[in-house]
Amino acid sequence: MPVFYDVEVTSRLMLGTAQYPSPKVLAEAFWRSGAGVATVSVRREAGGERAGTAFWDLVRDLGARVLPNTAGCHSVREAVTTAHMARELFDTPWIKLEVIGHADTLQPDPFGLVEAARILCEDGFQVFPYTTEDVVLADRLLSVGCRVLMPWGAPIGTGLGLVNRYGLRTLRAQFPDVPLVIDAGLGRPSQAAEATEMGFDAVLLNTAVAKAGDPAAMAEGFAKAVEAGRLAYEADPMEPRDMAAPSTPVVGRAFLA
């Protein structure tokens, strides 16, 4: 199982907790999936009277490790402030860091992301940065203290899957010892299987499960897919080739005169 900041989690599937039709459906999706990590938006929980206490109790009962996030933050200051709120609220040094730079694609701001990551790492946070597949940006994030990277598969909520397979394979090859989690853009279990088959340690998704006709069944499907992909990766699959090759040997074949 994957290890993040010296903590082994119980599954290669990480699930978000937003957009589900009801708390009951949310709980069932987590139960069916066995997801090891639950991401939670800090802003959802904010409120002077702890308006989100009931939701926090629900998340705590899911049995998954909580990874609060800075979703919706568009500046370094906003992200850092939200991260401090998260640490106080959820009592964890883990933070999924999002610093959004483009309103339409929700692409991370690379400059703000590195700066926010530097500040938070120096302050004792264990940062999970939502990033792109850019290897230079990845190197910068590692240099400021991040020990996990979360590259997108595609823009958040699109369900397009792994748009830049070449870039993602390059990232995996460039940082073979760094835990890498595909975050955002996955829409089907087959896409998640492809990610773990490429060697990524885990996947994180929300919309594909929460907005499915049967969220719990879809969550279970993703859980099985990521394990199937990982098994294939560890089995060292054959390389594709252009020419056909018989699977049945021709030695001993009868020849007719």
Please report, in range form, the residues annotated as the binding site for 1-deoxy-D-xylulose 5-phosphate. Answer: 157, 184-185, 206-207
Q: Which residues are annotated as a binding site?
A: 157, 184-185, 206-207
Q: Is 143 exposed, middle or buried (0-12, 13-18, 19+ CB in 10 A)?
A: exposed
**Residue 96 is among the residues annotated as catalytic for this protein:** yes
- Spot the catalytic one: 24, 96, 211, 224: 96
Active site residues: 96
